[in-house]
Amino acid sequence: MKPRINIITLGVADFPKSLAFYKDGLGWELSQASNDNIAFFPLNGIVLALYPKDALAEDVRVSPEGSGFSGLTLAYNANHPEEVDRILTTVEKLGATIIKRAETVFWGGYSGYFADPNGFLWEVAYNPYFTFDEKGNLNLS
């Protein structure tokens, strides 16, 4: 198995609301491969998919029931601390819940967390030790 992730699929409780949040609210481009049952958002080499939670659980053959911290967060790295604040303000206006206001963190960066309309946790962070390549991909060297 090669070291890569191609698609991250979020099982969402309200597909139309989630689609509106990411497509209309955040302005992310919806792939033509999307249909009435699944949404694909190309994200610079990775794809974020939205799929109804019950259907995803059925496909995996697990129960859709459950709550609490899943142990998973998604992260968006910003170019500067001001961008972190701007993004958190924007997503809050779109109906996201701010879980942790942005602050200077122990590792030397600046970050905060929000929950999207389905409760998926997103970190928005500025890391002064990371850079981006010409396509906006994170450079970890």
Instruction: Give 7's DSSP letter.
Output: E
Contacts of 72 (CB under 8 A, 6+ apart): 120, 121
Q: DSSP 3-state assignment of 16? A: helix
Q: Where are the alpha helices (DSSP H) in the chain?
A: 15-19, 53-60, 81-93
Q: Give Cα separations from 29 to 20, 62, 101, 105 (angstroms).
A: 11, 31, 27, 32
pLDDT tens for each residue of 48-79: 999 999 998 887 777 888 777 777 889 999 99
Domains of the chain: 1-61 (3.10.180.10), 71-133 (3.10.180.10)
Query: 3-state class of 77 per DSSP?
Result: strand
Minimum mean pLDDT range among 11-20, 25-34, 70-79, 113-122: 70-79
Whole-number Å distance between alpha carbons of 57 and 72:
17
Instruction: Say what the pTM is.
Output: 0.81
DSSP state, residue 119: -
**Mean predicted confidence (pLDDT) in 110-133:** 92
* Residues 75-99: tens digit of each pLDDT: 999 999 999 999 999 999 999 999 9
